[in-house]
Amino acid sequence: MRERDIIANYFVPLASAEPGAFALRDDAAVLDIPNGQQLVLTTDSVIEGVHVLPHASPQQFVQKLIRRNLSDLAAMGATPWRYLLNLCAPRETADGWFAAFAQTLKAEQQQFGMVLAGGDTTLGGTHVHLTLTALGLTDGPALTRRGARAGDTIFVSGTIGDAALGLTMLQDDADANGPWVERYHRPQPRLALGKALRGNATSAMDCSDGLWLDLQRLCDASGVGARVELEKVPISDATRQLLDAAPDADSRSALWHMLVTGGDDYELIFTAPAAQAQALQEMARFTGTPITAIGQITEELHLRYCDARGEHAFSMQSGWEY
Amino acid sequence: MRERDIIANYFVPLASAEPGAFALRDDAAVLDIPNGQQLVLTTDSVIEGVHVLPHASPQQFVQKLIRRNLSDLAAMGATPWRYLLNLCAPRETADGWFAAFAQTLKAEQQQFGMVLAGGDTTLGGTHVHLTLTALGLTDGPALTRRGARAGDTIFVSGTIGDAALGLTMLQDDADANGPWVERYHRPQPRLALGKALRGNATSAMDCSDGLWLDLQRLCDASGVGARVELEKVPISDATRQLLDAAPDADSRSALWHMLVTGGDDYELIFTAPAAQAQALQEMARFTGTPITAIGQITEELHLRYCDARGEHAFSMQSGWEY
């Protein structure tokens, strides 16, 4: 199949709800930003062998691509709106691959309320290389990483470290499955929570490269430090069982290190005055997203965590830097 | 150098004029679309070995990337405004490569009035893979491919076929240079002309995949046909000399075929009522862009051209399909 057949067969139907996409048949899209809205723009690539495993399924490509970008919109408190897709796939890619890719894309754009507005398609090269540009809208000030203040409570949504464990399992066995692997393949962008945090959190970002590294970035942007209680970092029941089964303190400690530096969590890290903790918990419950207080923002720029062994500096060596 | 150093050293300075880019330190950019403007969005990738030659210089990468996208904005009559950049380069890429890349990017964004608003950077893989998303603005209806009507005159800007000749020379000798090669490396997006055509042309598109193929697309979008006089297709003096030096009619015909199907012209193809030809010529002169009438839009859907040998159907076999 040639580029234009792929576009006509698979991508044009995904653009039908946006007249300004001109059925993907013009040089550019022309979009009317709804009155009173700001545009929130993010772009991330998903490259075979880097962000997904070699020979990932079309479903895995699409879900990682869409949700990785939407997690960035969630972190700004924006609502997904439109997207552009750049697809490069080897010339020998089967038609069925594109069909499955587009089918998943359709399900994802319906779930998240987005419409395809443009992109480009190239056949060539030896692996799949995707870029998605997500356009979101916000009708008030977006969340940023910049407002954390000393004394603020640090929260994270969901659980941390499952996806990193999933990736380890997949590296051992490409056919591994189960909840950890599912977390790696299929992030859950925290869009409802992000929207609810606008005007309530002092800072927010998405946690994609490991809790330690991303919290460091949030602190850098806000000009503050942090102190985290490791035992409060929320982990799934399955991960808890794994920790409990660890033979000694050293291996438990190594596992914790992996959980907080492994990445691919796509949870939100955010801060708010301690007095608002209760209200935030209510709000989070309303959006169906568990949140957990894990520590405090400090005036000293150091980033430290404490566990049963005492207080330690963050170790970032294993944080991912995409 | 790591991703974050590349971003901090080379890309952050390019984003300083857009406060909503948050110095590339947040999850997404937040942009205020100026009042009364529509957003015009296009995205195109430049892949080493596909859209530029293997081991292209950083300057060549940047110029092709920026100008390829701006040519799409020109075709809509939009004014460049902001852009996002996705860069993936092999881990062993030298620091100097990134420095030269960013220096050219800076010159280009100054020349075209754009500001970097976001993107992502990945080190990995075996070749350079770039994606640029260009945001343009328009304060009135954009140009589209859809409005060509039977009887309209067909125009093209500049000259056709030089870049295709340049690519052929580069394929023979990677160090080739001269005007043809320059045209291949450094397209000139026809932004001023595109803007002037708004409200005056009935349809427009950029010619990037060969005149025949792109004119076919414009006709498809408008539901019309075309008849082109081959001898009127504007070619450069250098190309004219080459044609004159062709030993026989067959080799002249083969050369013509290459000129109109080779691609990489990044000129504008557009249509307007014949009565407006004179006014359009004046306007084009005012923007410093030569334009040439090459034929007529027809009601019959056929696309035909005539030369000294008679009338022929377009042959699209060699058109590029990116």
- Give residue A308's pLDDT: 82
B319: its two tokens:
């058109």
| Mutate: best of B27, B91, B206, partner A, most A CBs <10 A | B27
- CATH at A218: 3.90.650.10
One domain, residues B246 and B103: no
Identify the band that residue A320 occupies on the pLDDT scale cut at 50, 70 and 90.
Answer: very low
How many Å lie between the alpha carbon of B233 and the closest alpha carbon of chain A? 22
- Chain B within 8 Å of A139 (Cβ-Cβ)? no
Share of chain B above pLDDT 70, in %: 98
Q: Is A3–B76 a contact, with Cβ atoms under 8 angstroms apart? A: no
Q: What's the first-to-final CA gap in chain A, in angstroms?
A: 33
- Cα separation, A152 vs A297, in Å, equals 5
Q: Are A116 and A87 in contact (CB under 8 A)?
A: no
State how far residue A42 is from chain B, nearest Cα, in angstroms: 5
Best A5, A27, A81, A143 member to test B by mutation, with max B CBs in 10 Å, is: A27
Contact between B64 and B128 under an 8 Å Cβ cutoff? The reply is no
* 3-class secondary-structure state, position B120: strand
Strand partners, A277: none
Give yes or no for a contact between B273 and B151, defined as CB atoms under 8 angstroms apart: yes
Is A64 a domain residue? Answer: yes
Residue type, B34: P
Q: Give the C-alpha separation, A82 to A181, whole Å.
A: 29
Q: Say whether residue A43 is in contact with chain B using an 8 A CB cutoff.
A: yes
* Tens-digit pLDDT profile for residues A211-246: 999 999 999 999 999 999 999 999 999 999 999 999
Q: Quick one: pLDDT at residue B174?
A: 84
Both B19 and B68 in one domain: the answer is yes
Q: How open is the CA angle B203-B209-B213, to the nearest 5 degrees?
A: 65
Torsion, CA B298, CA B303, CA B307, CA B311, rounded to 10: -90
Average pLDDT over residues A32-55: 93
Assess whether pLDDT exceeds 50 at residue B320: no
Residue-level pLDDT at B316: 58
Torsion of Cα atoms, A76 then A80 then A82 then A88, to 10°: 80
Residue B273 lies in a domain: yes
Q: Are B216 and B315 in contact (CB under 8 A)?
A: no
In this structure, what token pair is assigned to residue B146? Answer: 């859809």
B91 contact A CB<8A: no
Please judge whether B45 and A75 are an interchain contact, meaning their C-beta atoms are less than 8 angstroms apart: no
Q: How far is A266 from chain B (nearest CA, A)?
A: 12
Q: Say if B139 is an interface residue toward chain A (CB within 8 Å).
A: no
Instruction: Name which of A193, A118, A187, A125 is nearest A155 in CA terms.
Output: A193
What pLDDT, on the 0 to 100 scale, is given for residue A28? 97
CA of A2 to nearest chain B CA: how many angstroms apart? 8
Taking the C-alpha atoms of residue A75 and residue A52, their distance in angstroms, rounded to an integer, is: 22
Q: Please tell me whether residues A170 and A252 are part of one structural domain.
A: yes
B188, B216: one domain: yes
Read off the tokens for A14.
């995904």
**Pick from A312-316, B48-52, B182-186, B232-236: least confident:** A312-316
User: Checking phi first, is residue A146 left (phi over 0); if not, alpha (psi -120 to 50) or beta?
Assistant: alpha
Q: Which of B50, B84, B118 sits opposite A122 (nearest CB)?
A: B50
Average pLDDT over residues B124-139: 96
Average pLDDT over residues A10-26: 96
For residue A314, the model assigns a pLDDT of: 83
User: What number is the ipTM of this complex?
Assistant: 0.92
Task: Tell me which residues of chain A, numbers 54 to 83, contact chain B at a CB-CB cutoff of 8 Å.
Answer: 71-73, 75-76, 78
Q: Is A318 touching B (CB cutoff 8 A)?
A: no
**CA–CA separation, A81 vs A116, rounded Å?**
9
- Check A73 against B28: CB less than 8 A apart: yes
Provide the shortest C-alpha distance from residue A51 to chain B (in Å).
10
pLDDT at B19 over 80: yes
Q: How far apart are CA A147 and CA B38, in angstroms?
A: 31
Can you list the positions of beta strands (E) in A90-128? 115-123
Cβ atoms of A79 and A195 closer than 8 Å:
yes
CA distance B243 to chain A (A): 32
Kindly report the nearest CA distance between residue A89 and chain B, in angstroms.
Answer: 12
Q: What is the pLDDT of residue A321?
A: 43
pLDDT at B317: 54
Among A289, A291, A144, A312, which residue's Cα sits nearest to residue A212? A312
Asked if the C-beta of A91 comes within 8 angstroms of chain B's C-beta atoms, the answer is no
A143: part of which helix (H) or strand (E)? none
pLDDT at residue B203 greater than cutoff 50: yes
> Residue B146: inside a domain, yes or no?
no
Please check whether residues B305 and B167 belong to one and the same domain. yes
B322 lies in some domain? no
Question: In this complex, do B88 and A45 lie within 8 Å of one another by their Cβ atoms?
Answer: yes
* pLDDT, mean of residues B178-199: 95
CB A40 within 8 A of CB B118: no
pLDDT band at B322 (very low <50, low <70, confident <90, very high): very low
Are B157 and B268 in contact by the 8 Å Cβ rule? The answer is yes
Mutation to test the A interface, candidates B5, B41, B82, B218, most A Cβ within 10 Å: B41
Residue B71 is part of a domain; what is its CATH number?
3.30.1330.10
Residue A175: its pLDDT value, please?
87
CB-CB under 8 Å, B39 with A39: yes
- Put simply, the answer to whether B25 touches A131 (Cβ < 8 Å) is no
Per-residue pLDDT at A317 exceeds 80: no
Angle formed at CA A27 by CA A24 and CA A32, multiple of 5 degrees: 75
Question: Binning pLDDT at 50, 70 and 90, where does residue B314 land?
Answer: confident
Look up tokens 């000009």; give the residue: A223
Q: How many secondary structure helices (H) and strands (E) does chain B include?
A: 10, 12
- B40/A22 touch (CB, cutoff 8 Å), yes or no: no
Cβ pair B47:A125 closer than 8 A? yes
For chains A and B, what is the number of CB pairs under 8 angstroms? 190
Q: So what's the pLDDT on residue A316?
A: 59
Domain co-membership, B132 together with B176: no
Coil vs helix vs strand at A306:
strand
Q: Which residue of B has its CA nearest to A130?
A: B131
- pLDDT for B243-273, tens place per residue? 999 999 889 989 999 999 999 999 999 999 9
Work out whether strand B225-229 and strand B303-307 pair parallel, antiparallel, or are unpaired: parallel
Mean pLDDT (chain A) is 94
Q: Based on the domain organization, do A124 and A171 belong to the same domain?
A: no
Residue B194 in domain: yes
A220 and A82 co-located in one domain? no
Choose the final residue of a domain: B138, B172, B191.
B138
Structural domain containing residue B132: 3-138
Whether the CB-CB separation of B32 and A151 falls below 8 Å is answered with no
Per-residue pLDDT, averaged over B162-178, amounts to 92
A216: nearest CA partner in chain B: B25
Cβ–Cβ contact B42 with A under 8 A: yes
Q: How many domains does chain A have?
A: 2
Q: Is residue A235 a part of any domain in this protein? A: yes
- The β-bridge relationship of strands B153-157 and B267-272 is antiparallel
Residue B124: list chain A partners with CB under 8 A.
47, 49-50
In this structure, are B162 and B308 located in the same domain? yes
Q: Does A26 touch chain B (CB under 8 A)?
A: yes
Q: Which helix (H) or strand (E) holds B268?
A: strand B267-272
Contact between B100 and B166 under an 8 Å Cβ cutoff? The reply is no
- Final residue of a domain: which of A138, A168, A196? A138
* Residue B52 domain-assigned (yes or no): yes
Looking at chain A from residue 182 to 221, which residues have their Cβ under 8 Å from any Cβ of chain B? 205-206, 217, 220-221
| Residue type at position A83 | Y
Residue type at B241 in one-letter notation: Q
Among B112, B138, B164, give the residue marking a domain's end. B138
Question: Chain B within 8 Å of A48 (Cβ-Cβ)?
Answer: no
Residues B261 and B303 in one domain: yes
Strand order from edge to edge, sheet including A29-31 = A29-31, B38-47, B129-138, B79-89, B115-123
Indicate if B284 and B157 belong to the same structural domain: yes
Using 50, 70 and 90 to split pLDDT, how confident is the model at B215? very high
CB contact under 8 A, B205 and A119: no
Write out pLDDT tens, residues A86-116: 999 999 999 999 999 999 999 999 999 999 9
In a domain? residue B145: no
Rounded to whole angstroms, the Cα distance separating A104 from A63 reads: 8
The minimal CB distance from B43 to the residues A40, A124, A133 is found for A133
**Contact B184/B163 with Cβ under 8 angstroms?**
yes
B111 and B83 assigned to the same domain: yes
**CA nearest to A221 within chain B:** B25
- Asked if residue B321 has pLDDT above 60, the reply is no
Helices B162-172 and B237-244 cross at an angle (nearest 10°) of 70
Residue of B31, B50, B138 lying closest to A38 (CB–CB): B31
Residue B245: exposure state from Cβ atoms within 10 A (0-12, 13-18, ≥19): exposed
Nearest CA in chain A to B39: A31
pLDDT digits (tens, 9 = 90+) for B88-124: 999 999 999 999 999 999 999 999 999 999 999 999 9
Residue B173 has pLDDT above 50, yes or no: yes
